[in-house]
Structure 1
Amino acid sequence: MLNSTGELEFSNEEDPEIISQLTSLALSDGKSSAGAPEKTGYPDSVYVMAANIFQGIRIEKSAQKVLIKYGNEPLRSFSESEDQSFQRLSYELAFSALKYQDILETILIDSCIFPSTTIPDHLSSLIIVMLYDFQDRKFQTRVLSDNEESISEVQEVENLLNSFKIKLAAALARCRIKHDALSIYHILPETVRKQELRASTLPLYAWINTCKISPEEVYNNLKRRGYNKVKSVLHIDDKVFAVDQHCYDVLIFPSHLKNDLINIDLFKDYKLIFQDKSRSLAVHSVKALLNMDDDILMVNTGSWYTVAHMSILTNNNTSKVFVCGVQSQAKDPDLKTLFTKIGCKNIEILRETFINIETKDHRLQKVKVILLLPRCSGLGVSNPVEFILNEHEDTEFLKDHSQGGISVDKLHILAQQQYEQLTHAMKFTKAQAVVYCTCSVCPEENEAVVKKALEFQDLGNKVQPYSGTLLRQCL
């Protein structure tokens, strides 16, 4: 149980006028909220899942700088929802708390919640994510659904935060004043703020599953729902869509339509699939290099949607899509279920890691194009939460994005791994092309890797060496 020595002292001090004055100084973003729906909080289970995500990715500090102790045990989850909207809310809340971790910890200390309360260490992550949401709601009471299942730990933390409401609002206002910032949003590093601004303005991309539906049928379906087809969706606030100029099966939507789109049957039935455009560019680059009976080898693809898109694009061919690096057999049922729902038929899973596959492997003698999607910093990704959900990336991905960059040492490690994989791909004598695709804007992971691989390529039995024109790079 949470036990506050100062709880009674603050619980009777609540003054709506004071709260209003303080929270007007302490909004969590710098944008106007006029016309925006009022935030009412999340279900208890979202807080628990967000706390567990945050616990795994929080920034660990040296012993001298530790303000709050975090336990090592995750909170007991009562319902692991497979619903992507539930997961999205949890990841977004955890990511927001991570970006503001330093500020939130300072507020908890300044408001005397720590160390004046006896709080189990394993609840610290829950307190952080719930505090972020509490201040984001301007310290207003959470609206609970009648049929919502309550979780005791969430209720206890909520009662604690409510009892310190004035102290928390005052601490947040002081933090804003100390940094001479319009809001705590403006305390974030400039690189993070630019990334958020970019994410809020970039359009959404979705590819058409032509195995299930034709582009014309999709257009007509969208038009019946009030969407108009236009040439460009930039700076348009209406319900519109456009066809991408590089990929004929990719549609573009304004970003504000995401919540409306995810609830329509086209997306629920896997007839339209959201995905970062870089992945669609990659598979279309491969498709352009194929003959009817050529096979493809996909390397390090965390995204099952990328595999599915490659399969759909070659559905009318006799091509096989080999995918290596899927080592966990526990994922087999999920993979097969997804591929069946999408309509994929020509995919073969290889258990070996790419580096351990022999260049003369008998299974790969018809492979003419290798699609290499190496692990990278992902600093070109505008929305890391969506990227994690769609590409099945590790949650550690959020940690780098919360800081606006990665360490030099980590960048060098990634670049070396990318170089080793690229040079290995170039040793496959029957392969005629390699498509190298990252989601990074760092030259060290792109031009530098490609240039180094071309300079030190081992020709072996290859009739023609690779050149910069044959090795494509998708950013």
Structure 2
Amino acid sequence: MALYAAAANVLAGVENRQGSIKGLVYASRFQNVKQLYALVCETQRYSAVLDAVIASAGLFRAEKKLKPHLAKVLVYELLLGKGFRGGGGRWKPLLGRHQARLKAELARLKVHRGVSRNEDLLEVGSRPGPASQVPRFVRVNTLKTCTDDAIDYFKRQGFSYQGQASSLEDLRTLRGKRFLLDPLLSELLVFPAQTDLHEHPLYQAGHLILQDKASCLPAMLLAPPPGSHVIDACAAPGNKTSHLAALLKNQGKIFAFDLDAKRLASMATLLVRAGVSCCELAKEDFLAVSPSDQRYRQVQYILLDPSCSGSGMLTRQLEEPGADTPSKERLHALAGFQQRALCHALTFPSLQRLVYSTCSFCQEENEDVVRDALQQQSPGTFRIAPVLPSWPHRGLSTFPGAEHCLRASPETTLTGGFFIAVIERVEVPSPASQAEALAQELIPSPAPKRKRRQRKAVAGRSTLPCT
């Protein structure tokens, strides 16, 4: 199966220092990058265990043509993973000949080390941490279906629906084929950690979006009503954009910007699959977008989720357990860009509400950026809006109002690491003043009669067909 060959190639590339797991996975051009990434990370995490089992079972003596990295992936899938996916192709009978011996060697290794669970075989630094215990959150795409229909579909597939969760403990104790409705987001389903839904027909049809709960909060808190004009400033890969479109019910306009052409192309595919029709994509630097451009004169909502260190990303925590904090130099460069982007966003004349978010734990990219950007505005123009008072993890108390910001982490909220600040205009321009300003922009300055006649003649010619 192509999945296993791709995973073996990524593992070989990592061992030869050709790049990181994430970089090599994306460079592999394998269609389901999330599935490939998860398989590679888990195989690498159990690498020492797999080497010991393979050696004890004498697998390479029996299968001389089997390459080491592919063997490691296949044995992981057989003993520790989800079983061979898609039938396993020609690899299932090959490993089947050695299945009993491999399982016996795994059991013998547990006895030798005095443990009963597979994860107890791991070294301390490789054991599952809070990140691996985060539930699988699934957002129902309301552009294509509704929550009740999605729940009914899973129930027909043998899943047991447990109703709406009432606490984090309900989410933490999910096991087997049980699932819940999130207590905060009415369109968010919650499954046990490590549940793989990449092959599920509802996901492949765009009815479901695999999106962490913390990543759903920015669009939810921005809350643009249908018909609004919204800017998604750093939009790719597009999950938040599709969430915005669902909140808008495809009524209104989303201007989505990103500089990376490949990410933008993937995003376009995602949005089509999700049924999004109100989004205008542009390969453009948000900092180069003019707030005075007439196309954006009705933009009242902006979602700004800029490039960041990614220190809160679950995938990074699984790939690099205990990874160090980013260097001061990198944080300084990132924070500089983030602050410029936030200050730029706050200059859009009709802006009423903005959400600034990162998937970072670092204060330099979060509270410090928001504080410095607000200090550059005229006093009393903007404030941090108090949101979700019951949310357990708040912003660091580094300046007045920071307690209204939200933080998230696997330990405190059972989500990925995230930071969110909701910024709203204190004095919203009145409709009358906005209309007056717009009228002034649209009224042409007086011109001599002869020039006006010339313009009229030119306008008349412009209605003729081009030749």
TM-score normalised by the chain length of structure 2: 0.61
Contact 2:237 2:264 in 1 (8 A): no
Contact 2:335 2:369 in 1 (8 A): yes
Cα distance, 1:339 vs. partner? 2.3
Contact 1:376 1:439 in 2 (8 A): yes
Secondary structure (helix, strand or coil) at the match of 2:277 reads: coil
Secondary structure (helix, strand or coil) at the match of 1:302 reads: coil
Cα distance, 1:371 vs. partner? 1.3
User: 2:236 maps to what in 1?
Assistant: 302
Please state if 1:346 is matched with 2:273: no
CA distance 1:403–1:285, change in 2 (3 Å): same
- Counterpart selection for 1:467 from 383, 391, 410: 383
- Counterpart selection for 2:180 from 242, 246, 253: 242
- Counterpart selection for 1:94 from 40, 49, 53: 40
Secondary structure (helix, strand or coil) at the match of 2:164 reads: coil
Please state if 1:313 is matched with 2:250: no
Amino acid of the structure 2 residue aligned with 1:321:
I
**2 CA distance for matches of 1:184 and 1:239?**
21
Using CA pairs under 8 Å that are at least 6 residues apart, name the structure with larger relative contact order, 1 or 2.
Answer: 1
Contact 1:189 1:404 in 2 (8 A): no
Contact 2:358 2:366 in 1 (8 A): yes
In structure 2, list runs of 5 or more residues that go unmatched. Answer: 19-23, 387-403, 408-417, 419-467
**1 CA distance for matches of 2:279 and 2:176?**
39
Identity %: 21
CA distance 1:145–1:376, change in 2 (3 Å): closer
**2 CA distance for matches of 1:217 and 1:107?**
45
Please state if 1:422 is matched with 2:339: yes
Cα distance, 1:253 vs. partner? 2.8
Please state if 1:281 is matched with 2:217: yes
Q: Deviations over 1:422-459 (max 9, x none)?
A: 333223422333312222334343334333433xx432
Q: Deviations over 1:107-150 (max 9, x none)?
A: 9999999xxxxx9xxx9xx62453365377569xx989999368
CA distance 1:356–1:98, change in 2 (3 Å): farther
**2 CA distance for matches of 1:423 and 1:144?**
46
Contact 2:258 2:282 in 1 (8 A): yes
Contact 1:99 1:403 in 2 (8 A): no
Please state if 1:325 is matched with 2:258: yes
User: 2:370 maps to what in 1?
Assistant: 450
Q: Deviations over 1:146-203 (max 9, x none)?
A: 99368xxxx9xx9xxx9xx99xx79x969x97xx9989955766565343x5424x32
Secondary structure (helix, strand or coil) at the match of 1:427 reads: helix
- Counterpart selection for 2:352 from 432, 448, 452: 432
Secondary structure (helix, strand or coil) at the match of 1:230 reads: strand
Query: Aligned ranges for residues 129-208 of structure 1 at < 5 Å?
Result: 130-131=71-72, 133-134=74-75, 137=78, 148=89, 190=124, 192-195=126-129, 198-200=131-133, 202-208=134-140
User: 1:27 maps to what in 2?
Assistant: none
User: 1:380 maps to what in 2?
Assistant: 312
Please state if 1:52 is matched with 2:9: yes
Contact 2:4 2:73 in 1 (8 A): no
CA distance 1:341–1:146, change in 2 (3 Å): closer
Secondary structure (helix, strand or coil) at the match of 1:349 reads: strand
Amino acid of the structure 1 residue aligned with 2:210:
F
Secondary structure (helix, strand or coil) at the match of 2:310 reads: coil
CA distance 1:347–1:56, change in 2 (3 Å): farther
Cα distance, 1:223 vs. partner? 4.4
CA distance 1:300–1:127, change in 2 (3 Å): farther
In structure 1, list runs of 5 or more residues that go unmatched. Answer: 1-42, 62-72, 114-118, 385-396
CA distance 1:353–1:443, change in 2 (3 Å): same
Cα distance, 1:54 vs. partner? 2.9
CA distance 1:411–1:285, change in 2 (3 Å): farther
TM-score normalised by the chain length of structure 1: 0.60
CA distance 1:410–1:433, change in 2 (3 Å): farther
Cα distance, 1:284 vs. partner? 0.6
- Tell which structure's C-alpha radius of gyration is larger: 2
